[in-house]
């Protein structure tokens, strides 16, 4: 354990137009010029493409969300996610919406490009290198954590700008909390490396913090929101029995 590491509570705050409910890390925008947040569920807001709502309604929400991120951003990249550890570095500007395949993380140094991952209990992990102005966003459910998505994301940022993990800010965003997430012993062991007898409560964000610390990250923050028990604000796959909507977590460097 690195004694230099600090873990702070940093919760996303409601911002913008209530028609497009968003929660952002306002401190990062003020201190680092980084826009990082997640959509909420107020007013039935759901960006899930397998939502019960008509597809044109859902696509309308995507358009409204992109509008709400203007004028700083003209492009948004998301992916069909597979609970793996593949991450892409985006080097070329995107105008509009780019949907990639098979990625669970994105990184970039480009201004004007929003990186997005969809979540509903899985943890969005936001990474920033304030010196080189590189950002990344990861989709970290238990499979992704076990597959090493955090390690890959940190490698990726160190490849495009950051000198070392201790340059980075790492934020574990809105996901299911340890009190709400009971898993089987195989899942618990896959994520934490520790054996338990029978079902156990798994705190994905604590597991991510432990991994980040082991990699040499010294500045870690964690959201106080839980996608499961903060049910008015967020969608939860677990609580809904698999019928949940989705939030879009996002990060980017706006055009100045
Ligand atoms: Zn909870």
Could you read off the pLDDT tens digit of each residue along the chain, which spans 256 residues?
446 899 999 999 999 889 999 999 999 999 999 999 999 999 999 999 877 889 999 999 999 999 999 999 999 999 999 999 999 999 999 999 999 999 999 999 999 999 999 999 999 999 999 999 999 999 999 999 999 999 999 999 999 988 899 999 999 999 999 999 999 999 999 999 999 999 999 999 999 999 999 999 999 999 999 999 999 999 999 988 877 799 999 999 999 8
Strand partners, 175: 226
What distance in angstroms lies between residue 111's CA and the mean position of ligand 1's atoms? 34
Taking the domain 6-252, which CATH number applies?
3.60.140.10
Confidence at residue 2, expressed as pLDDT on a 0 to 100 scale: 47
Residue carrying the six token digits 């980040």: 212
What distance in angstroms lies between residue 225's CA and the mean position of ligand 1's atoms? 8
Q: Give the count of beta carbons closer than 10 Å to the beta carbon of residue 13.
A: 12
Nearest to 204 by CA among 108, 138, 153, 157: 138
What distance in angstroms lies between residue 116's CA and the mean position of ligand 1's atoms? 23
Classify burial at 131, counting beta carbons within 10 Å of its beta carbon; exposed 0-12, middle 13-18, buried 19 or more.
Answer: exposed
Confidence at residue 3, expressed as pLDDT on a 0 to 100 scale: 64
Confidence at residue 228, expressed as pLDDT on a 0 to 100 scale: 97
What distance in angstroms lies between residue 203's CA and the mean position of ligand 1's atoms? 10
Residue carrying the six token digits 């994301």: 153
Confidence at residue 52, expressed as pLDDT on a 0 to 100 scale: 82
pTM for the model: 0.96
What distance in angstroms lies between residue 120's CA and the mean position of ligand 1's atoms? 12
Q: What is the C-alpha to C-alpha distance for residues 149 and 29, in angstroms, rounded to an integer?
A: 25
What distance in angstroms lies between residue 212's CA and the mean position of ligand 1's atoms? 22
Confidence at residue 163, expressed as pLDDT on a 0 to 100 scale: 85
């Amino acid at each position: 354990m690195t004694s230099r590491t600090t873990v702070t509570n940093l919760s996303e705050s409601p911002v913008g137009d209530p028609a497009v409910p968003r929660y952002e890390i306002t401190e990062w925008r003020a201190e680092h010029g980084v826009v990082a947040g997640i959509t909420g569920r107020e007013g039935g807001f759901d960006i899930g493409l397998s939502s019960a709502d008509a597809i044109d309604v859902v696509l309308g929400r995507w358009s409204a969300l992109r509008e709400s991120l203007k004028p700083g951003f003209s492009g948004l990249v998301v992916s069909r996610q597979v609970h793996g550890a593949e991450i892409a570095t985006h080097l070329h500007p995107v105008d509009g919406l780019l949907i990639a395949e098979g990625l669970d993380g994105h990184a970039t140094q480009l201004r004007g490009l929003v990186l997005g991952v969809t979540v509903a209990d899985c943890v969005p992990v936001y990474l920033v290198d304030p010196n080189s102005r590189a950002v990344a966003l990861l989709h970290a459910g238990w499979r992704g954590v076990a597959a090493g998505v955090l390690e890959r994301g940190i490698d990726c940022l160190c490849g495009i700008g950051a000198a070392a993990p201790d340059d980075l800010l790492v934020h574990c965003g809105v996901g299911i909390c340890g009190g709400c997430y009971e898993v089987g012993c195989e899942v618990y062991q896959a994520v934490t490396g520790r054996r338990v007898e029978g079902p156990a409560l798994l705190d994905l964000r604590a597991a991510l913090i432990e991994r980040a610390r082991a990699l040499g990250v010294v500045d870690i923050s964690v959201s106080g929101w839980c996608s499961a028990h903060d049910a008015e604000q967020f969608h939860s796959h677990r609580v809904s029995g698999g019928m949940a909507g989705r939030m879009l977590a996002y990060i980017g460097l706006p055009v100045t």
